[in-house]
Amino acid sequence: MKTKSVIVIGAGIGGITAATHLAKRGLHVTVVEKNSRPGGRCDRFRRDGHHFDTGPTLLVMPLLYEAEFRALGTTMRERLDLQRVDPTYHLVFDNGSQLALTSDMKSMQEQLEAIQPGSFQGFLRYLQEGGVHYQLGMDKLVNRDFRKATDFFNLENASMLFRLKPLVNHYRNMSAYFDDPRLKAAFTFQDVYMGLSPFDAPATFSLMPYTELAHGVWYPKGGMYTIVETLADMAREAGVEFVFDKTVEQINVNSSHTRGVIIENGERLDADAVVANADLPYVYQKLLPQDGMVKSLSRKEYSCSVISFFWGLDKVYESLAPHTLFLADDYRENFKSIIRDLGLPGNPSLYVHAPARLDKSMAPQGQDTLIGIVPVGHLSENGDQDWAAMRDEAREHVFRRLRTVGIDDLESHIKFEVNFTPLSWRKRYNLVKGSTHGLSHTLTQLAYFRPSNRHPRYNNLYFVGASTHPGTGMPTAMVSGRLVAERMMDEL
């Protein structure tokens, strides 16, 4: 009997994971990637001895990673050399006050009580709620494949309306636990991981600060890209074939099925099924015959984007923590500027990552590697945004923020700079609107309401990645890959 073949478009985390599961079940799998290496937006580059992760910079939700590595027949600890990062973040507020988020409850009590007397009890209650949301979210939403409406709309799930608080605004929900706006910001900024504003996100996402403090934030030796390398190695061990530097121009379809793909120069690659790991809106816009789904996706909400700066420095800044977040007092206005106005806030909250604090190999001896990330709006429809001007303004904001913590000479020690704007994200990774997290994770775009992982017409065309279920993030991409592989084995 002829071995069935599958083509995976894109070597992102979800695509590699799906490919590995399918190959381990006996299918012949080929991954076609337009770039020269795997990873998609979870990318890396090196320059003059400096190493930069261009995507995620920290490992969160370790229990989910562990479960997905076990599903692939190994353990995370076998494959990755991990160290716990604690404190997880150093938060710096506009008035100069700071908060180091840590699993050390005595330290948290002292710090929280100094900001708002009595707040530690509110923090413990918030963590308790986050724990409930985490367990329910993983069991009932993330690890479930909603193939039909009754998989989601049933009596068992009805109680989730009350227990998961999906109809309650996350930031508004913080009033039940804290009065000080700094603390409300400190435990909602994680919504940006989903490309969301805390003023739009459901209170369900309290699960993120919970898992960071309860399960830890981790860092793999060699940087986050080692996860990509590990997964690619596991895929090759399972028999997956990778084809790099080849762009898929079209998915070859008839009235009800796909027959494979057409790559550059018109070459056809035939297959019994196709898994698209490219950004889902891009697949509908560019790789398939135009249909109503293109217009439907254009009306959906997209996540924000970021301007990223990658600096090689000739000086070490030991005082700078691995993960530093500068949170603005005008927190609400920040998100209005990003989500509504698609711009750069006048006083943006921003993030600075110093990977060499965790792994000395990320910079040459006596030098430093620094990444600055400034959230901004995604690309507008009319193209009227001046990204060069916004990039330059964002850079000055990073310098200004660093001066508030005593780093006032950074500019004079920059050996080189590489920067990404939303235009870069669109060009490098085919992300529609330059949205770094794909479709947004609002209530009406979660779980069953998120685009399905199988095409409604072409029955052997499947989707994996940030804009399909369960959503954005490296561990959830692994879940997405597993879920789609399980569905394919049931249906092919």
Please state at what angle helix 225-237 crosses helix 13-24, rounded to 10 degrees.
Answer: 20
142: DSSP letter: I
Which long-range contacts (C-beta less than 8 Å, at least 24 apart) are formed by 258-263?
A: 258/455, 258/458, 258/460, 258/461, 260/7, 261/7, 261/9, 261/32, 261/287, 263/32
**Residue 450, helix vs strand vs coil:** coil
Amino acid letter, 297: L
Give burial (CB, 10 Å; 0-12/13-18/19+) of 70: exposed
Looking at residue 161, its pLDDT comes to 73
Instruction: List, in sequence order, every residue forming a beta bridge with 275; answer none if it has no partner.
Output: 8, 462
Q: pLDDT tens per residue, the chain (492 residues)? A: 679 999 999 999 999 999 999 999 999 999 999 999 999 999 999 999 999 999 999 999 999 999 999 999 999 999 999 999 999 999 999 999 999 999 999 999 999 999 999 999 999 999 999 999 999 999 989 998 988 888 888 877 777 778 899 999 999 999 999 999 999 999 999 998 888 899 999 999 999 999 999 999 999 999 999 999 999 999 999 999 999 999 999 999 999 999 999 999 899 999 999 999 999 999 999 999 999 899 999 999 999 999 999 999 999 999 999 999 999 999 999 999 999 999 999 999 999 999 999 999 999 999 999 999 999 999 999 989 999 999 999 999 999 999 999 999 999 999 999 999 999 999 999 999 999 999 999 989 988 889 999 999 999 999 999 999 999 999 999 999 999 999 999 998
Q: At how many degrees (to 10) do helices 13-24 and 474-491 cross?
A: 40
* Residue linked to tokens 């997905």: 68
User: How high is the pLDDT of residue 156?
Assistant: 76
Tokens of 13: 């985390």
Angle at 374 between CA 113 and CA 281, to 5 degrees: 120
- Is the pTM for the entire model greater than 0.75? yes
Determine the angle formed by the axes of helices 119-136 and 105-115, rounding to 10 degrees: 120
- How would DSSP label each residue in 263-285? EGGG-EEE-SEEEE-S-HHHIII
Separation between Cα atoms, residue 293 and residue 384, nearest integer Å: 26
Supply the DSSP string of 202-263, one letter for each residue. Answer: BGGGGHHHHHHHHT-EEEETT-THHHHHHHHHHHHHTT-EEE-S--EEEEEE-SS-EEEEEE
* Euclidean distance between CA atoms 203 and 133, whole angstroms: 9
Question: Could you identify the residue written with the tokens 């995976």?
Answer: 8
Task: Tell me the CA distances in angstroms from 371 to 54, 178, 245, 308, 419, one per residue in order.
Answer: 9, 31, 27, 7, 10
Residue count (the chain): 492
Q: Per the structure block, which two tokens stand in for 422?
A: 């939303």
What is the rounded CA–CA span in Å between residue 481 and residue 471?
Answer: 11
- C-alpha–C-alpha distance, residues 229 and 38, integer Å: 8
What distance, in Å, lies between the first and last C-alpha atoms of the chain? 14
| Token duo for residue 5 | 């073949």
Rounded Cα–Cα distance for residues 391 and 376 (Å): 10
Q: DSSP character for 27?
A: -
Instruction: Report pLDDT for 369.
Output: 98
